[in-house]
Chains A and B, each alone.
Chain A
Amino acid sequence: MNKLVKKTLITAVLAAAAFALYYNFSLLPGYQDLEKGISDYIITYGLHDTGSLNLITAVLYDYRAFDSLGESTVIFGAVSGIVLILSRKMLPVSSKGLSFIVKRTLGIMTPFIALFGFYVITHGHLSPGGGFQGGVILAAISIIFSIVYGSAFDYRRYSPQTKTVLETGGALTFLVIGLAGIVMEGAFLKNLGFLTAERGTLISAGSIPYINIGVGFKVGAGLAIIFYSMIQKTFEEDF
């Protein structure tokens, strides 16, 4: 088939699909007409039920914590799969890293990035953020180390075994809190009442901060493992 004809055909099909979707979405009821039950409910009772000032975290880690458990399990499975597919049984040999100036600059910056990551994780129930976002920031530190200081630096500091332990530890935290919910509150993953403190303080909102910490470590370690298993071969050749 002629290339031009093919291109036009694809464009036409895509345009038709886009139009169909647009037509359908234009049929949607306006935002105001939506059944307001759910958002009203969260705004009215969310803080009272969960003690979390950040209502999004309240939904993610309390009302629908089971879904979050599923999502973090998906990350866990994806990490296992990528390790399975990409593992090469090669000793990581490092590049020398970037220049002195970059190393110095990032040496000063990295602690602050780590601090911000921990802040996002631990203050998930008070301000925007939470386990997922903070975990990714922590994973970014590992990536910066690999690129700027060479992958062996990161390997020596935090070996893959340590990361695996951190990851499974995070997953276990989530599961154990869930099972504790059965024992103490009568339902899986229900907010643990005895942990609740005064609203707005750091250690409040029941089990939400602890789930956040578990998810944070899990996501951070998991994504670092993914990046690490992808980068191995590249730097070996740069050496």
Chain B
Amino acid sequence: MSLMNIELILLTVLPVLIAVFMCFSTNFNRHSRNFIAVMGVGIELALVISLFVLNFEAVKNSNFFLQYTLGYTDTPFVINLAMDNLSLFFSLIVTSAIFLIVIFSTQYITAKENIYFALFFLVLASIQGSILTADLFTLYLFIEAITIFTTPLISFEKTEETTRAAMQYLFYGITGGVFFFISMILIYFNLGTLKMAAVAESFALISTPMQLTIIIFFLLALIIKLGIFPIHFWLPRAHSACPAPISALLSGVLLKVYLYIFMRLFWTMIAFDFLVELHLSDFVLNLALVSSLIGHVFALQADDLKKMLAYSSIGHIGMILAVLLLNTEAAFYGGLLHITAHLMMKSGLFLSSGYLLQTTLSHNINDLRGIGHTNRLVFAAFIIICLGTIGMPPLIGFVSKWYVLLAFLKARHFFGAFVAAAGSIIALIYYLRYISHAYETVKEDGKSIKEELLSLKGFFSSTNKMKSVIYIFTILIIIFGLGFKILEMPINTAIFELLNPEKYIELVLGG
């Protein structure tokens, strides 16, 4: 009985167990079910943090590597789970965000919680699986699983609009999956293996037209999944139709997972040189920048708060993808920092929009009138996060955007620098539009802001759980904005993995 690196398999299997258990929990009362949900995701977070803390020295020297082999070790088609610094970094930020989102949704979701949490934990399991796996087929499986599990969550409130959005999401998700599958099949028929490390070793042996096809289909799949310009229209609909925690999950977390998969595929598995050689990297870079600009411009005309946030997501994701494709160390630093920042900001914004919905009729801009007066503290938090997204100095959004801008300027890519700056200015306009509407009609009622601040007695009680999650996101944004150097060590080690994929390949194949 060996318990070597058993955490890796537990990270994937534990949420599945909880999901199966949740299906049984129709007769449970609310409290015990919520307790189980929070406990489950808490254990998950504790596992990831313990991996980080226990191997702190190894992470610091960037030679951290864990591997778990399923089944027979000496067969040529064994499934591996592997964790290096890059996966550890992503696993850490994603699990922390999901922990907060689960706490929020214990309070937010009031009907059919058992199926909601079952599907949520299945999504969590597939996210962890796709971050950890070192096998191409298992990766494909988990990507498809994410699409299939999130579709019913999008149409959770069965109206015509949500159903249409969910159908569109499913259609484009599956189409992207099919493109991924075609590439995978082509790789298997050419090399006879699906282990990412083994593919990386012998990818150069494939003939050039075949390489081109494989890379194009992978790019198509990920462009669809990430919502880059030509195929972006499903994203705002899907991300605005679902309940607020699911919006936060889709926009804040899942897009980052797809970015991780992008990095894993194009830096570790297929060396980035192939993209440059085939002149694809420049093309995709410019496409992502155009997509970023278009996302920001479309956000200007969106009259729905969540739709505006979703369009702004398109803008940010396009910028991150573009900066990563510059393929320099400064670019990776800016990109990974902005991934962290966007994860926190977008989750916080969507969650606070969900909280605000409870006091308004809809997310339409006209219904948001006067909301700044009725929910002062939450709306103040909303404004702070908005300022972070725009890039105001003490917040993390400023720091990350600064490094992105620096990376573009260092690489002499002035169009990119222009888009990064223009995005901020356009974002300022569309956020101000909503904020000014929110303070439009002055309504006097009851509590002043001071009273609300002083009533901390219920801060962690059930009534305020949603608020406290939003405050936690706000405080995190301020803290990391002031002390972004905390993130420097994990990000630098993650960059080390991107710059030296040989380490990952050698260690996976070696044992």
Contact = CB atoms under 8 A, between A and B. Distances in A.
Interface of A: 20, 24, 27-29, 34-38, 41, 45, 49, 59, 62-67, 69-71, 73-74, 76-78, 80-85, 164, 168, 171-172, 175, 178-179, 182-184, 186-191
B148 A77 contact: yes
B1 A84 contact: no
A28 B119 contact: no
Contact of A27 (B20, B126, B141, B209): B209
Interface string B147-176: 011011101101000010000000000000
A33 B17 CA distance: 43
Nearest to B213: A24
Nearest to A41: B76
Contact of A175 (B20, B70, B71, B129): B20
Given A80-B119, A164-B23, A172-B20, A186 B1 contact: yes
Interface string B14-45: 00110110011000000000000000000000
A34 B189 contact: yes
Contact of B115 (A27, A67, A80, A179): A80
Nearest to A164: B23
Given A85-B155, A188-B13, A70 B141 contact: yes
Given A76-B122, A183-B1, A184-B1, A24 B70 contact: no
A184 B3 CA distance: 11
Contact of B24 (A24, A69, A168): A168
B78 interface: yes
Contacts of B141: 67, 70-71, 74
28 contacts: A24-B210, A27-B207, A27-B210, A35-B191, A41-B77, A63-B71, A63-B75, A63-B77, A65-B70, A66-B138, A67-B137, A70-B126, A73-B16, A73-B145, A77-B119, A80-B115, A80-B118, A80-B122, A83-B115, A84-B112, A84-B115, A85-B155, A85-B163, A171-B16, A172-B20, A182-B9, A186-B1, A191-B71
Nearest to A65: B71
Interface of B: 1-3, 6, 9, 13, 16-17, 19-20, 23-24, 68-72, 75-79, 112, 115-116, 118-119, 122, 125-126, 129, 137-138, 141-142, 144-145, 148-149, 151-153, 155-156, 158, 163, 186, 189-193, 207, 209-210, 213
3 shortest interchain CB distances as A-B pairs: A81-B152, A35-B192, A186-B2
A81 B79 contact: no
Contacts of B151: 81
B317 to A, nearest CB: 25
A73 B125 contact: yes
A198 B392 CA distance: 72
Q: Chain B contact residues: over half helix, strand or loop, or mixed?
A: helix
A37 B192 contact: yes
A37 B191 CA distance: 11
B122 A188 contact: no
A41 B75 contact: yes
B2 A189 contact: no
A34 B192 contact: yes
A151 B199 CA distance: 51
Given A27-B210, A37-B76, A80-B152, A62 B71 contact: yes
Contact of B190 (A29, A67, A184): A29
B191 to A, nearest CB: 7
A80 B210 CA distance: 40
A49 B151 CA distance: 40
Nearest to B158: A85
A24 B145 contact: no
A191 B152 CA distance: 35
B409 to A, nearest CB: 39
Given A63-B78, A66-B138, A84 B23 contact: no
A38 B76 contact: yes
Contacts of A41: 75-77
Given A84-B115, A182-B6, A77 B149 contact: yes
B13 A24 contact: no
A175 B70 CA distance: 14
Nearest to A27: B210
Nearest to A176: B17
A71 to B, nearest CB: 7
Contact of A187 (B19, B24, B70): B70
B9 A188 contact: yes
